[in-house]
């Protein structure tokens, strides 16, 4: 048994020519109006790939959180404890310092560093409180989180939101 493929152009050559003419006219209009520089580019939806990646990350991490909740031990002896805390605080300081510099220069990228600084401050507060021993350490951690880290994080997020509106 033999089959033969037919393409729309084979059925009606006039239809293909009409489509070609319309595409050429549309491209010419775009070039004339300055909306296209003559090169054809793939058309992408805003954030299409990024949105799919973010959704994929969320879809993987949410069940992973349940697995961790069921399998992680309630306590753990951590290696490199000092390095962990110094690294987190240095990262926060760098993000805050870079934000201050970019704000001073009126650079639009300050919103990105402000978001990073705010996120690091929230993470720092979370880990300070959740890893503190009962008693004075936990009270101190809660006080720092409520009076310093979380209000500073809110300020950083406000700065980022303000800069994104510009």
Single pTM value for the model: 0.67
What was the pLDDT predicted at 88? Answer: 95
Instruction: Give me the tens of pLDDT residue by residue for the chain, a chain 166 residues long.
Output: 444 445 444 545 666 676 677 767 766 766 666 665 556 555 565 667 778 888 888 999 999 999 989 998 888 888 898 999 999 999 999 999 999 999 999 998 999 999 999 999 999 999 999 999 999 999 999 999 999 999 999 999 999 999 888 7
Question: In this structure, how many other beta carbons lie within 10 angstroms of the beta carbon of residue 16?
Answer: 14
Q: What is the model's pLDDT at position 9?
A: 47
- Domain residues of the chain, as ranges? 84-165
Spatial separation of the C-alpha atoms in residues 135 and 147, rounded to whole Å: 18
Residues making up the chain, counted from first to last? 166
99/104 Cα distance (integer angstroms): 8
């Amino acid at each position: 048994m033999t089959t033969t493929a037919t393409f729309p152009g084979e059925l009606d050559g006039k239809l293909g020519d009409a489509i070609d003419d319309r595409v050429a006219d549309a491209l010419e209009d775009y070039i004339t109006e300055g909306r296209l520089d003559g090169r054809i580019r793939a058309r992408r939806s805003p954030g299409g790939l990024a949105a799919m990646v973010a959704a994929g990350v969320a879809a993987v991490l949410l069940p992973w959180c349940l697995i961790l909740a069921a399998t992680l031990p309630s306590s753990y002896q951590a290696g490199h404890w000092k390095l962990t805390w110094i690294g987190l605080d240095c990262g926060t300081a760098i993000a805050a310092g870079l934000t201050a510099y970019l704000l001073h220069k009126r650079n639009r990228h300050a919103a990105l560093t402000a978001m990073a600084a705010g996120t690091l401050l929230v993470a720092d507060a979370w880990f300070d409180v959740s890893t503190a021993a009962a008693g004075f350490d936990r009270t101190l951690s809660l006080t720092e989180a409520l009076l310093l880290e979380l209000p500073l994080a809110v300020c950083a997020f406000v700065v980022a939101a303000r800069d994104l509106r510009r």
